């Protein structure tokens, strides 16, 4: 249980997080997120005192846990930690509290800044002890010492690991959560400060950036009533002037989409540029027009956006460690496939995902096979609901759709569609065996990729650039090049190719995320997965 509960802490020492750059690349330039974080994003992990002269009797730990029994779940970790330090004080140096003690205390006492609406154990006692200790000089206090260490473990459990696996599974999140060796973390934690890595919160990088925007949006909500913007019934065209234009500009300015004059009444090029950026961040058609969809997105209450940020901060806590290899990531609400090598984004493309009634599952798989000119084995549910009624309505339906019956099972015909350009899977599919029967594939219905909302499939994921994906997966594999891929795709004969290097595939669900340009994005909750998790967060009922 200890290994599972504290596995997130180790990530700090590994220095990278899973899918660290799936929707935001790590760069050196200063960003809006950097500015938002500066001055309040105090760090605490791995920053203990290196002194060894001041020590205490190990019996003090048992006395402390008897007085504060809610920390008994951390007894093993506390004892292991101090045994490795030979029971030297970790939060005092020269009798004074080190800076990180105040940082930890501030974060424990302000858990809502972490998107957590549940109190850590003994917050009042921590506050009182810190106040009393601040007036003392050159005198380490064992109660303060052990309270800080216990709070450190409690905080890391809540803020860096998040709610337990029962909660994530109830939220239909089946991406496996990381498993790390807690003892390895402690070994690294006890190294000399100069040998430790730079301090950073041990969670997927999206968490830190979303946390910065959580603070910004809470500040906006406290200052602005966010009343609905009403566009005249006649509409507003580019080049028009209107009294509502300054209101629109002021809102876009507050949301960091407009950087200029907010008082001008004209629908000028500066406003068009700002509207396009806003539309892009919200997954809308990017045309620069103040249409119905754009105005509706501008009018979404800030409290609703704050809830979206909170939910996706929690999801970020669940993500496993990064992989130093090729991997694929699909963000369902974004309708995007992202192709990565380690932390470098190679390219992205549009995808079509499952309809609300046939949702694509949030899970992890390992891509093992590329199948050229595939058959499509029609799922029994589609045979029952769609094919059989169509057969009754129209003779010759099977031949017209290049289908054939290969047998019967459980009273249903077993039907498959022949390889070729009309095949529903297109000219290639990509298999990562899983119990959900979900895979990536080509499609003959190319027009759907131009839609802004692309939830049309029966659950599988249609890829806009299947040729590019096939070449990416087979790069360096002996006997394969772009020409051979093209021939295999149009051969009309099914061919399985086993990948020499298996590729992880992560199907994720983020309705708020930071993109490559360090801009906050929102997407619709197409599968209605946010509400239940939001309720657990805000009510503090989620188990940790």
Selection from 185, 191, 461, 510 nearest residue 350 by Cα: 461
Closest CA to 380 of 347, 414, 348: 414
* Pure H helices in 75-228: 75-84, 99-109, 123-134, 142-155, 165-170, 182-189, 205-223
Q: Per this entry, what is the length of the chain? A: 544
Please state, in angstroms and rounded to a whole number, the distance separating the CA atoms of residues 41 and 154.
Answer: 19
Q: 532 φ, ψ to 5°?
A: -60, -45
Distance from C-alpha of 79 to C-alpha of 61, rounded to nearest angstrom: 7
**Which is catalytic among the residues 282, 460, 490, 501?**
460
The span from the CA of 274 to the CA of 348, in Å, is 24
Taking Cα atoms as reference points, which of 186, 330, 245, 255 lies closest to residue 519? 255
Give the Cα separation of 22 and 396 in Å (integer). Answer: 47
Please pick, among 282, 338, 441, 458, the residue that the annotation labels catalytic: 441
Give me the residue label for tokens 């806009």: 464
Q: Which residues touch 68 (CB under 8 Å, ≥6 apart)?
A: 121, 122, 125, 147, 150
The number of angstroms, rounded, from the C-alpha of 271 to the middle of its chain's C-alpha atoms is 31
- Residue 349 is among the residues annotated as catalytic for this protein: no
Convert 275-294 to b/e letters by CB count within 10 Å (16 or more is b). Answer: bbbbbbbbbbebebbbbeeb
Question: What are 406's two structure tokens?
Answer: 């290969």
Q: What is the CA radius of gyration of the chain?
A: 27
341 noted as active-site residue: no
Question: Which residues are catalytic, by number?
Answer: 441, 460
């Amino acid at each position: 249980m200890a290994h599972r509960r504290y596995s997130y802490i180790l990530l700090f020492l590994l220095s990278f997080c899973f899918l660290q750059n799936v929707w935001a690349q790590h760069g050196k330039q200063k960003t809006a997120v950097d500015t938002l974080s500066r001055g309040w994003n105090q760090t605490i992990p791995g920053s203990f005192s290196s002194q060894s002269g001041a020590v205490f009797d190990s019996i003090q730990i048992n006395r402390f846990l008897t007085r504060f029994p809610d920390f008994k779940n951390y007894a093993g970790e506390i004892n292991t930690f101090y045994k490795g330090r030979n029971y030297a004080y970790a939060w005092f140096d020269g009798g004074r509290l080190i800076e990180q003690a105040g940082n930890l205390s501030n974060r424990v006492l302000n858990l809502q800044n972490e998107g957590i609406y549940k109190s850590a154990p003994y917050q009042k006692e921590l506050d009182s002890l810190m106040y009393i200790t601040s007036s003392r000089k050159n005198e380490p206090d064992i109660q303060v010492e052990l309270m800080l260490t216990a709070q450190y473990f409690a905080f890391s459990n809540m803020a860096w690991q998040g709610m337990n696996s029962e909660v994530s599974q109830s939220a239909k999140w089946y991406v496996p959560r990381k498993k790390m060796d807690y003892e390895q973390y402690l070994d690294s934690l006890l190294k000399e400060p100069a040998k430790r890595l730079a301090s950073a919160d041990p969670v997927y990088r999206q968490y830190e950036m979303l946390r910065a925007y959580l603070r910004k949006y809470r500040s906006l909500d406290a200052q602005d009533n966010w009343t609905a913007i009403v566009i005249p019934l006649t509409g507003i065209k580019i080049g028009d002037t209107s009294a509502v234009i300054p209101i629109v500009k002021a809102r876009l300015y507050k949301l960091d989409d407009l950087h200029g004059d907010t008082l001008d009444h004209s629908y000028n090029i500066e406003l068009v540029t700002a509207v396009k950026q806003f539309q892009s961040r919200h997954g809308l058609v990017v045309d620069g027009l103040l249409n119905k969809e754009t105005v509706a997105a501008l009018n979404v209450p800030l409290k609703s956006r704050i809830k979206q940020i909170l939910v996706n901060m929690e999801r970020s806590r669940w993500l496993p460690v990064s992989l130093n290899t090729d991997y694929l990531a699909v963000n369902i609400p974004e309708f995007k496939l992202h192709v990565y090598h380690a932390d470098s984004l190679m390219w992205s493309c549009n995808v079509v995902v499952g309809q609300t009634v046939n949702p694509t599952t949030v899970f992890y798989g390992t891509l093992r096979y590329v199948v050229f000119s595939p058959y499509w084995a029609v799922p029994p549910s589609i045979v029952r609901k769609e094919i059989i009624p169509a057969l009754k309505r129209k003779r010759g339906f099977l031949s017209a759709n290049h289908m054939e019956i290969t047998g019967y099972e459980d009273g249903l015909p077993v039907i498959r569609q022949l390889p070729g350009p009309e095949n529903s899977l297109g000219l290639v599919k990509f298999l990562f065996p899983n119990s959900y029967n979900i895979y990536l594939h080509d499609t003959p219905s190319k027009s759907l990729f131009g839609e802004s909302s692309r939830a049309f499939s029966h659950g599988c994921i249609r890829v806009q650039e299947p040729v590019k994906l096939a070449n990416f997966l087979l790069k360096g594999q002996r006997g394969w090049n772009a020409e051979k891929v093209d021939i295999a795709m149009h051969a009309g004969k099914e061919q399985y190719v086993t990948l020499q290097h298996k590729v992880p595939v992560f199907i994720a669900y983020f309705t708020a995320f930071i993109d490559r340009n360090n801009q906050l994005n929102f997407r619709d909750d197409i599968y209605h997965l946010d509400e239940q998790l939001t309720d657990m967060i805000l009510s503090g009922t989620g188990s940790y």
